[in-house]
Structure formats: C-alpha cells, structure tokens
Homo-oligomer: A and B are copies of this chain.
Amino acid sequence: MSTSAFPARTTTAEIELGTALQPKFGPDGLIPCITQDVHTGEVLMFAFMNTESLAHTLRTRMATYWSRSRNKLWVKGEESGNVQHVRELRTDCDQDVLLLKVEQTGAANASCHNGYKSCFYRKLANLDTAEAEGYRLSFTAERLFDPAAVYRKK
C-alpha cells in the first residue's frame, strides 16, 4: 500500500457536508470516476482512479486514470492525442465517486477507443417494449476516427 496524499476519512457528517476532500478508495485502492464534457454535459466515459491517478490529475490538470486491464497509470490521450483538460472536479455525498468536467482536445475530440466522442454511443432502442421484444441498441453518434488507423501509428 502506498501512502495516500489525501486526507483520512473522518465522520459521516464531515464527509457528507464538510469542505475537506476525503475520497474513499475501495479495498482495491480504486475510486470510480465519471467524466463529462464541461460544455455540453455529455457523459464521455467512466473509469477508475487510484491515489496516484488522482494526484497526477490534480498536479497536471490532465485526466489520469488507473487502467485495470494494463495495471498502470493511464494519462488519457497519451496514445490517441485526445487529452482531457480538467476544468472541475466534484465528489458525491459520501465521497466514494468522483466527477470530472473536462475539455477534450485532439483532432478527433473522441474519448472512446472505438472512435466515438463518448463511450455511451448506444441507447436502448425500444425502451417501452424491450421486455417483450428483446433488448435492442441503436447508435446515437457517428464515429469520429478509425481506431485501427489511430492506434496503429503509435
């Protein structure tokens, strides 16, 4: 266990209604993080941070997650060029979730490795009738880049 740069958790009242950031990292050392476009409010992605990611995010103001699949620090955009500049960081009532509001840069303005602006590019097409008909998704966005081309170059 690395020593956290962040304050220890105190009381429920302090955590929920106080003014000290006391993020709760789970037993795996991770806290969930929702990332939203600061201008449009679109939810771009959902990922995790550990203390190192959060410290790096705050130091550089570039969204930095923890990649569970690669087990390493993940500076968003380091491969694709689609960097996320953090404009606001929020936490929820019990401080076990973070919310970043970011400005994406990079040619494609895409946060998803599949080439979409947001990872949430599909919606349930038949919300009112899905139970009877089956759960069909429809696409809500256009692809902004071809992932094979972008990631191949690096």
Contact = CB atoms under 8 A, between A and B. Distances in A.
A18 interface: yes
8 contacts: A19-B136, A20-B134, A21-B130, A58-B124, A87-B127, A91-B122, A93-B121, A97-B119
Contact of A128 (B6, B36, B61, B113): B61
Nearest to A16: B114
> What interface size band does chain A fall in?
35 or more
Q: In the assembly, how many copies of this chain are there?
A: 2
A92 interface: yes
A86 B130 CA distance: 13
Contacts of A90: 120, 122-124, 140
Nearest to A36: B43
A89 B123 contact: yes
Contact of A122 (B19, B55, B86): B19
Interface string A132-147: 0011111110000000
Interface of A: 5-7, 16-21, 32, 34, 36, 40-43, 45-46, 55, 58-59, 61, 86-93, 97, 99, 112-114, 116, 119-125, 127-128, 130-131, 134-140
A135 B131 CA distance: 46
B130 A58 contact: yes
B46 A124 contact: no
B127 A21 contact: no
A107 to B, nearest CB: 20
Contact of A91 (B34, B113, B128, B137): B137
